[in-house]
Structure 1
Amino acid sequence: MGILNRIGKAIDALLQQENENYEKGVDFERYVVELFRKQEKYFAIHSWTGDLSDKYQGVRVESDSEPDLTIRYKPTDEKFAVECKYRSYLYNDKLCWTTREKLKDYRSFAQKNIIPTFIVIGLGGNPRNPEQMFCIPLEKAKYPELYPSVFRKFERDPRKSFFWKNGVLH
């Protein structure tokens, strides 16, 4: 019975960690949305995916393979997509932000919809107050793991509202 108890505790710990990571992701998405909402004159949330696949194991919801947000820039009616990722720390000096499969999904979405797509990453601190933030164009996020030499070029103040200029999110 001792081994079964230990296995059960290990499974409980893994499920708790998975749930905590999911909650951090949702909190960071909300934080990013609030940065857009501060500029409601300029930005509208066109769509926000529900991540239902994570909630119902074994059920794949196609829209969950899309970026978290589609935003409309009101002055020009341009749309762009945003995938939000929060990471507490770098792993082996790299930013591990997604899987190869998800990266392929994001690229497919961007090409199919002919829409600029950006990866907004919060790093350190907590999801509602990250120490650092990066807004990386999808075409620059070529791999699921990024070195600082790639993502540091796209650092932005995590407390400032977003702005859109010449087809680029800042």
Structure 2
Amino acid sequence: MYEFIFRWTDGLSSHDCIACFNTTEMESEVLKALLVARIPTVLFVMNRFTDVNNIQIEYALQENRLLIVVLRRDEPQGRGATPRLRNEYVMSLCRRVVCGYVNRRGSVYSLISGRADVERLIDDDACAIAAEPAVRHERWSVAQDKVLLRMYYADMGIHAIHRKLRRTYAAVCARIASITQPEEYMKGREFEDFVLSLFDLHDGDDLVLQEWQGDKKLGLLSPENNSNPDFVFRYGRRHFAVECKWRERLSKDIGETLFQKRKLDDYMTFSSRRRIPVTIVLGVGGDPGNPESLYVIPLKDVEGILSHSDSIELYRNESMTLSCSMFLRSRRRRDDVVSEQRRHYPNAFRPWDAETDASLLSLYRSGQSIKSLAIHFSRSERAISMRIKKLCETS
């Protein structure tokens, strides 16, 4: 598949201007190839640009050969799938549309059907499979590894590495995976760095970072303290611990994807043994080093969130800052939090019934906005959105 895609990018010149995305792995590699080849590029992103540490993007911006366009919905919780609306809008701006492999069940396939200005680089999976010979298990020299790592960490992409080292794309991908840290580990470390930067630690301050756990493993063997929270801080004579988590999005099943019972039990044991509070700092969306949303959740409040997943919004940190008071102050009881929420939304956390569900769906399908539905049902916009999503999935 890579062979067909990059054959097209190699045929471009500085007189072309390419509009592209950076959402999927393939889109990311195409963007890198365009930037390395110095092709004028327009990058479309949703809500805000987050890839702030990409070296090739930095170079392209400095040389005025990259324009980043941030798209936002007029109504954030409006109707219609965001990716389809994005694709439709961007395609309307282009004189010619070039696609790689197109899933026949995806939104892009229906958008390009009947258009005469579309070029499809890959017609089916068979072409992609036949495009490149099988990986030959040739030994990589230390010198080649050094070149690969330099280019990889300079965000030059697999196409540039393939051309430099004359290795197949599959071999390059396999070697990158074998000699770099796993992606999930790197995302976790990047978010930990982000959280530490919010504390703004300096020598001589009252706040001191005492412990920083690292995920150390050899096969199935790992040290006992791997189950401890990521950070332990001392502020004067008081201590508190912080566990950092980053997710691309909040899933419906928070218990399975975010607050696994085994991990919670480990943190509870740690908190009881050390007699210090544990707080979970959760980043959601964007990039691990620059998340869109931040939540500060005391460990003792997690049980309430598992019972009422909507209540996680009560812990959203709108300021995107951290201070010791957030971790050392006594937290309000959940009943107090619910009471406060109901001053703004009288029906907050109350159960839904069949009659209300039917009314909600009817009004939503008639074109009512999420904001107007929130006012009508005396609930938050997030609660309305989540309920509509659940009803649509089960209907």
Indicate which of 49, 54, 59 corresponds to 2:221. 59
Is the contact between residue 135 and residue 169 of structure 1 (CA under 8 Å) also seen in structure 2? no
TM-score by length of structure 1 reads 0.77
Distance 1:149 1:34, change over 3 A: same
Q: What residue identity is the alignment partner of 1:101?
A: R
Residue 183 of structure 2 corresponds to residue 23 of structure 1: no
Alpha-carbon distance, 1:141 to partner:
1.1
Q: Does residue 1:133 correspond to 2:258, yes or no?
A: no
Instruction: Count the aligned residue pairs.
Output: 155
Relative contact order higher in (CA < 8 Å, ≥ 6 apart): 1
Query: In terms of Rg, which structure is larger?
Result: 2
Which residue number corresponds to residue 118 of structure 1?
279
Identity %: 30
Asked if the contact 1:130/1:158 (under 8 Å) is kept, the reply is no
Within 2, Cα distance between the matches of 1:36 and 1:126?
19
Which one of 79, 89, 93 corresponds to residue 249 of structure 2? 89
Q: Deviations over 1:3-25 (max 9, x none)?
A: xx9xxx9xx7xx79x92121111
Residue 72 of structure 1 pairs with residue 237 of structure 2: no
TM-aligned CA distance change 1:166 to 1:92, over 3 Å: closer
Distance change (3 Å), C-alpha of 1:72 and 1:89: same
Instruction: Report the equivalent of 2:209.
Output: 45
Report whether the alignment pairs 1:150 with 2:314: no
Question: Residues 144 and 154 from structure 1, CA distance in 2 versus in 1: closer, same or farther, beyond 3 angstroms?
Answer: closer
State whether residues 120 and 133 of structure 1, in contact with CA within 8 Å, keep that contact through their aligned partners in structure 2.
Answer: yes
RMSD: 3.2
Q: What is the rounded CA distance, in whole Å, between the counterparts of 1:27 and 1:143 in structure 2?
A: 29
Distance 1:93 1:108, change over 3 A: closer
Indicate the SS of the match to 2:303.
Answer: coil
In structure 1, distance between residues paired with 2:305 and 2:246: 14
Structure 1 residue 127, shift from structure 2 partner = 0.8
Q: Distance in 1 between matches of 2:215 and 2:330?
A: 23
- Per-residue deviation, 1:154: 1.2
Once residues 307 and 185 of structure 2 are traced to their aligned partners in structure 1, the CA distance between those partners, rounded to angstroms, is: 21
Compared CA separation, residues 26 and 70, structure 1 to 2 (3 A): same
Query: Conserved in 1, the CA contact under 8 Å of 2:293 and 2:320?
Result: no
d(CA) in 2 for partners of 1:156, 1:35: 12
Contact 2:194/2:289 (8 A) holds in 1: yes
1:32 equivalent in alignment to 2:195: yes
Preserved CA contact (<8 Å) 1:39 1:161? no
- For the 8 Å contact 1:68–1:83, the answer to whether it is kept is yes
**Cα offset for 1:110?**
0.6
Measured after TM superposition, the shift of residue 100 of structure 1 is: 1.7
**2:270 aligned residue:** 109
Matches of 2:319 and 2:245, distance apart in 1:
13
Task: Write 1 or 2 for the structure with the bigger share of strand.
Answer: 1
What TM-score, normalized by structure 2, do the two folds share?
Answer: 0.35
Structure 1 pair 108–166 and aligned structure 2 pair: CA distance change class (3 A): closer
- The code of the aligned residue for 2:194 comes to Y
List structure 1 segments (4+ residues) > 4 angstroms apart after TM superposition: 143-148
Q: Indicate the residue corresponding to 1:99 in structure 2.
A: 260
Measured after TM superposition, the shift of residue 163 of structure 1 is 3.1
Q: Which amino acid aligns with 2:315?
A: F
For structure 1, the 5+ residue unaligned runs are: none
Contact 2:191/2:245, CA 8 A, preserved across alignment:
yes
For residues 92 and 35 of structure 1, the distance between their equivalents in structure 2, rounded to whole angstroms, comes to 28
Q: Aligned pair in 2 of structure 1 residues 86, 107: CA closer, same or farther (>3 Å)?
A: same
Distance 1:142 1:129, change over 3 A: same
Unaligned runs of 5+ in 2: 1-128, 135-169, 332-395
